[in-house]
Amino acid sequence: MQAPPPLWQSDKDLLVEARNLSFRYGHQETLSDIQLNIYRGDFLGIIGPNGSGKSTLLRLLLGLLTPEQGQVLLWGEPLAQFRQWSRIGYVPQKATAFNAAFPATVREVVAAGRLGRKGLFGRLNNADRAVIDQSLATVGMDTFADRLIGHLSGGQQQRVFIAQALAGEPEILFLDEPTVGVDAEQEEQFYSLLERLNSKSAMTIVIVSHDIGAVTERVNKLVCLNRRLFFHGEVSGFKARQSEILSLLYGHPVQMIRHGH
């Protein structure tokens, strides 16, 4: 069911490739025979029910889990041989679930995103500080740079952790359920930020979400996952067969309800 890449995409644009991935927790099969390509410039949404394997797939692509079968390639290299981790940014699920009393400023949190390029004990120079300032400005948090991270709202903290990922100057950004606990206004600002990063900064973005309505209105490609792939391709192709695909994905008819904010 996987759609071929558009004509403007070629093998040199292929950043991430999953070949026949399968994974299980204990005796419970979590993912089965997943084949997935992520190309430069994609804004890819991964949707599916709770427990469908979305976060597990992300962790497999990032090398945080080892597949039972199959292989992941990053920029054409087998994952075990890949060393250029600064090319990848990752905002994990519940990134904002930390001790609010932790005495770190917004700037210090974002500066930690340079460690992938500088090393754990590398000293920040003027060029690093310029990247940190630009990352804060990109997410609209530059005026909060000296504020303690624990004093921010959930939506503001989420933007800080995106800035932390951006400080590493990645080519692809992975986000796992980034809008959980974020109110409607902040969610709108958040998706607008991702659209700007994708369209103006040419950043490839992969977002895992349970919010089908919001995601399908923003991304240009979609993966529908429930242990196996039910769809992988352009959003226009999904929308043409939306009722059919969602019924297969959830195992029963699904009616989409859009909420205006």
Q: pLDDT digit string (tens) for 155-182?
A: 888 889 999 999 999 999 999 988 776 7
Per-residue pLDDT at 107: 95
d(CA 135, CA 193): 12
Between CA 202 and CA 113 the distance in angstroms is 20
What are the backbone angles phi and psi of residue 156, rounded to the nearest 5°? -65, -40
Which residue, chain included where needed, has tokens 């008819």? 253
Residue 41: is its pLDDT beyond 60? Answer: yes
Maximal CA-CA distance, the chain? 56
- Domain-by-domain residue ranges, the chain? 13-20+31-83+177-183+204-250
Helix, strand, coil shares of the chain, percent, nearest 5, are 40, 25, 35
Give domain 13-20+31-83+177-183+204-250's CATH architecture: 3-Layer(aba) Sandwich (3.40)
pLDDT digits (tens, 9 = 90+) for 207-236: 999 888 889 999 999 999 999 999 999 999
Instruction: Give the full edge-to-edge strand order of the sheet including 172-176.
Output: 88-91, 172-176, 204-208, 43-47, 221-226, 228-234
Task: Specify the pTM.
Answer: 0.87
